[in-house]
Amino acid sequence: MDLRKTVADLHAELVRYNLVVWTAGNVSGRVPGEDLFVIKPSGVSYDELTPENMVVCDLDGNLLEGEHSPSSDTAAHAYVYRNMPEVGGVVHTHSTYASAWAARGEAIPCVLTAMADEFGGEIPVGPFALIGDDSIGQGIVETLKGHRSKAVLMQNHGVFSIGKDAKAAVKAAVMCEDVARTVHVARQLGDPLPIAQDDIDRLYDRYQNVYGQRSPR
Amino acid sequence: MDLRKTVADLHAELVRYNLVVWTAGNVSGRVPGEDLFVIKPSGVSYDELTPENMVVCDLDGNLLEGEHSPSSDTAAHAYVYRNMPEVGGVVHTHSTYASAWAARGEAIPCVLTAMADEFGGEIPVGPFALIGDDSIGQGIVETLKGHRSKAVLMQNHGVFSIGKDAKAAVKAAVMCEDVARTVHVARQLGDPLPIAQDDIDRLYDRYQNVYGQRSPR
Amino acid sequence: MDLRKTVADLHAELVRYNLVVWTAGNVSGRVPGEDLFVIKPSGVSYDELTPENMVVCDLDGNLLEGEHSPSSDTAAHAYVYRNMPEVGGVVHTHSTYASAWAARGEAIPCVLTAMADEFGGEIPVGPFALIGDDSIGQGIVETLKGHRSKAVLMQNHGVFSIGKDAKAAVKAAVMCEDVARTVHVARQLGDPLPIAQDDIDRLYDRYQNVYGQRSPR
Amino acid sequence: MDLRKTVADLHAELVRYNLVVWTAGNVSGRVPGEDLFVIKPSGVSYDELTPENMVVCDLDGNLLEGEHSPSSDTAAHAYVYRNMPEVGGVVHTHSTYASAWAARGEAIPCVLTAMADEFGGEIPVGPFALIGDDSIGQGIVETLKGHRSKAVLMQNHGVFSIGKDAKAAVKAAVMCEDVARTVHVARQLGDPLPIAQDDIDRLYDRYQNVYGQRSPR
C-alpha cells in the first residue's frame, strides 16, 4: 500500500509542473523484490487518484489487482521493467517543450550545467513507434540502455523517463521539460554556447556521486 | 439540476488549463431527450458560476429559464445542436495558441500521436464570421460535419469544440490548446516530422475504440 | 470604505492573470462625485493589501488619507483623472507581452475579434516618458483621448488602461495582455490575416452596446 | 531563528514566480554582525523547508549548525559574503528566460524602464565556471563588484543575485527573470528601441533614492 500511495501522490508533481493535461501522463513504480509494478489506472483524472485505485501489473503488463484498466501505456512500462532490471520507476508525459523537440525528431543539446548534472549530455530521440505492442518499449530500451540520459524523446510522441525508483523518474521528467524549455528559448534568439565534453563529464560525475543528502535521491 | 451542475463545474476546467480570461469562454450541454441546452450566463465571472445561475435555452437560442441573459455565443451553440444531433456538448474559448493559428487562418498539422488519437488528423480552420446571426454556427457545422476533428479554429476568432456530452467537448478544447501549443513550439525551430496517414488512421481508430475505462468518455 | 475594498480586491485580478510581479503594478478608482481617488500604497506587496492600507489622493496626486505613501505612479493616475472626466478607473502594469510590444514601440494590430470587441481597433503606443512629473500622464491622455482603445502601450515601459470604473480598467488590462500574447504568438509563425475595418466597426459597436447583463460592465 | 524563518519563507517566492523546479535554487542571508549565513539545506524540497532545517555556515562555507548538508551552491554564496561585505543576501536560480540568455552568453540589454530602475543598465554575463571550488564565486564577484546590476547571468548555468538582505536578493532574482522574459519576447519580433544612457541614469538614481516606503527595502 505504501508504493501505491507513493505512485498516486507522485502524479501531483506532474500536475504541479504542468507536464500533463487531462489524463495524458502516468507514473509507475516497481514493487521491490517482486516482478510487479504499480501504475496509474487508464482515463482517471489526476484529482481522483488514490492509493486504492492504483493498479498492479506483472512484468508482461497483465492486470493483477485493481478495479480499473491499467494505463494505456502499460505495455511500454512493462517492457522497460522486463529489460532494464536496474530501473525502479518509469514516467510518461507529453510535456510541451520536450514533445516539441520530439516532433522535430531532434535531440536536446547539452548547453546547460543542469543538463550535464542530471542527464550527462544530450537528451536523445527514440524511434517513431505505434502503441499496441512492444514497439514503444523497445524504442525506449534501445535508446536508453547504456546511455547516461534518464529521459528519451519518442519521435512525434512525448517523453519517457526512468529512475532507480518512481520519484527519481518523476524528477527526470520534471528536469527534462525544464531544460527542453530553457534550451528552446535560448535557441530562439541564436546559438547557445557549447559546453566542452570534459566539463560535461566532470559535472555529471560530481552530481551523481556528491549531490544531495546522504541517502541519494 | 444535475446537468446545470455539470455545466457550471466544467467551466473550472477552462480556468484550470488557462483557456479563458475574464468571462471570455463558455460551455453548454444538451438536455438528454429534450430540445434544450444548458449554457453559461453572459458576463458572469467564473468564480460566480453556480448550478442556479446557469440558463436554459431552446434550440433556437431563446431563453427559457434563468435570471441572466444567456452567453453572447448562444446562437452558435444552438445552431450546432440544431444541425448536429449527435453533439451533446459545445465549448467556446479564445485559448492563446489555438487562437494564434486561427488568426493566421492556418490548420494545425497532425504531427503528434496525441493529435492523431484525439482529432484523427489536422484541426481545421472555419470561416471568418460575425456574431449576431447564424454565421458562426454555420461555419462550425460546415467545417466539422463529417470531419474527424472535434475542434474548429474559427478565423481571427477562437475555438469551438464539440463532443458527445459537455465533458467530452471540454476535453477537446483542452487537448486542442495543448497540441496547438506543442506544434507551435515545434515549428518555431524548424519543421516537425510528418506522421504517415496510415499511422494516423490506426492511432485514431484505436483511441476511439479502446482507450479509457469500459464506459467510454 | 467600499471603494477602498474594491480597489484593494481588484489587485488580486492582476496577480491571478500574471500581469504583475513583486509590487510592480497598481489600480486606482475615482471616488464618485468627489475630486479624489483611491490608489495602492507604494512598495506594499499584493498579499498585504487591505481596504485600510489603501491611500486617498486629490486630483493633483497629494496624499489626503493613508499611513503609506501613494504608489510611485500616482502622478500619472492623477493626470488622467484631471484630464479625462469620463474615466473612473486607471490601471498600470508591466505585463510581459504588452510590454514587449511597448519595448519595440509597436502598436498591436487588430487581428482578433476579441480585440475589435474590447478595443475597437489597434492598441496604440504612447511616447517614451520619464517618471517624476506629468510626462507619463500627458502621454497617456494624448494617446487615449478620442481613441477607442482603453489601453496604451507606453514606449519602453508598460501598459496604462482606463475604464468607467476600476473594474472596467482592470478588465482592459487583462484583455490587453491576452490579445498582446495571442497576436505575438500568431506573428511568430507568419502574418495574421487582417480584419476589414467595416467588420471591426460592427464588432466594436455591438460589444459596447449589447454585451453582458443589463447593467453594463 | 528569525533569519532562519525569513530565509526559509523566501523560498516560497521562488516557487510563486516559477523561478525554480524540484530543488534547483536557493536563498541565503547573512547573520547581521556575525561572520555567518543561513542557507537552504541540499536536496530538500521547497514544501519541506522550515526554520528548523535551514543550515548555518561560516564564511568559508563550513557547516556550523544543521542536520542536513548545506546547499551544493554554498561555496559560491560564501565567496560572495567574504568578498562583498555590503551584501546581506544571495539567491541562485535556473530561471528559464535568464538562463536562456546565459546559455547564449549574452547580456540582457536595458530596454525597459523597470530594468533601468532595478538594475541601472544591462544585466551582465559572468564566466563559465565549474562547481567544486571558488570559480563560481569568483566569477560572480568579478562581474558584480562595482557594477550597478544586482544580478549576473553565469554562462551556461543560471542566475546569481545579491542584495542588502535576503529579501532584496530575492526581489532582484524575480525582477531579473521578469525583464529577461519581456526583453526576450520583444526581441522575437524585432529590435527593441534603446533607452538613452542619460535616461537610464536618471531612472536608476530616482528609483534607488526615492521609491517605496520610508524604510527602504
ipTM of this complex prediction, to 2 decimal places: 0.95
Statement: residue D202 has pLDDT above 60: yes
Q: Alpha-carbon torsion C194, C90, C92, C77, what sign?
A: positive
Environment class of B190 (CB within 10 Å of its CB; exposed 0-12, middle 13-18, buried 19+): middle
pLDDT at B213: 46
How many Cβ atoms are within 10 Å of B171's Cβ, its own excluded? Answer: 23
pLDDT at C215: 42
pLDDT at D211: 61
pLDDT at D209: 85
- Split at pLDDT 50, 70, 90, the class of A211 is low
Environment class of D154 (CB within 10 Å of its CB; exposed 0-12, middle 13-18, buried 19+): buried
% of chain A at pLDDT higher than 70: 96
pLDDT at A95: 98
Q: Which residues pair with C70 in a beta bridge?
A: C41
Q: Give which of B16, B19, B22 to mutate to test C binding, by max C Cβ within 10 Å.
A: B22
pLDDT at C216: 37
| Partner-chain contact A189 D104, CB within 8 Å | yes
| Partner-chain contact B156 C192, CB within 8 Å | yes
Query: Which residues in chain B have Cβ-Cβ distances shorter than 8 Å to C201?
Result: none
CB C84 within 8 A of CB C152: no
Q: What is the pLDDT along chain C (217 residues), one digit of tens a residue?
A: 699 999 999 999 999 999 999 999 999 999 999 999 999 999 999 999 999 999 999 999 999 999 999 999 999 999 999 999 999 999 999 999 999 999 999 999 999 999 999 999 999 999 999 999 999 999 999 999 999 999 999 999 999 999 999 999 999 999 999 999 999 999 999 999 999 999 999 999 999 887 644 443 3
Mind giving me the DSSP string for B36-77?
EEEEPBTT--GGG--TTT-EEEETT--EEE-SSPB-TTHHHH
Statement: residue D217 has pLDDT above 80: no
H helices present in chain D, as ranges: 2-16, 74-83, 96-104, 113-119, 135-144, 166-188, 197-210
Question: Which three three-digit cell numbers place residue A201?
Answer: 563529464
Statement: residue D22 has pLDDT above 80: yes
Comparing CA positions, the residue from C140, C180, C134, C143 lying closest to residue C160 is C140
End-to-end alpha-carbon separation of chain D, Å? 21
User: Chains near C, with 3+ CB pairs < 8 A?
Assistant: B, D
D200 min Cα distance to partner chain A (Å): 25
pLDDT at C1: 65
Segments in chain B below pLDDT 70:
1, 211-217
Q: Distance between CA A61 and CA A81 in Å, rounded?
A: 10
D82 min Cα distance to partner chain A (Å): 24
Query: Which residues in chain B have Cβ-Cβ distances shorter than 8 Å to C199?
Result: 128, 130
pLDDT at B209: 85
Q: Alpha-carbon torsion A47, A52, A55, A57, what sign?
A: positive
Which DSSP letter does residue A35 get?
S
Query: Which residues in chain B have Cβ-Cβ distances shorter than 8 Å to C96?
Result: none
Listed in sequence order, the residues at least 6 apart from C185 whose beta carbon sits closer than 8 Å to its beta carbon are B96, B97, B100, B184
By mean pLDDT, which of A152-156, A212-216, C81-85, D1-5 is the weakest? A212-216
Cα Rg for chain B, rounded, in angstroms? 17
Query: Which residues in chain A have Cβ-Cβ distances shorter than 8 Å to B203?
Result: 130-131
pLDDT at B211: 61
**Chain D residue whose CA is closest to A13:** D22
pLDDT at A213: 47
Interface residues on A facing D, Cβ-Cβ cutoff 8 A: 17, 111-114, 171, 174-175, 178, 181-183, 185-186, 188-193, 195, 199, 202-203, 206, 210-214, 217
pLDDT at C139: 98
A162 min Cα distance to partner chain D (Å): 16
Statement: residue A209 has pLDDT above 90: no
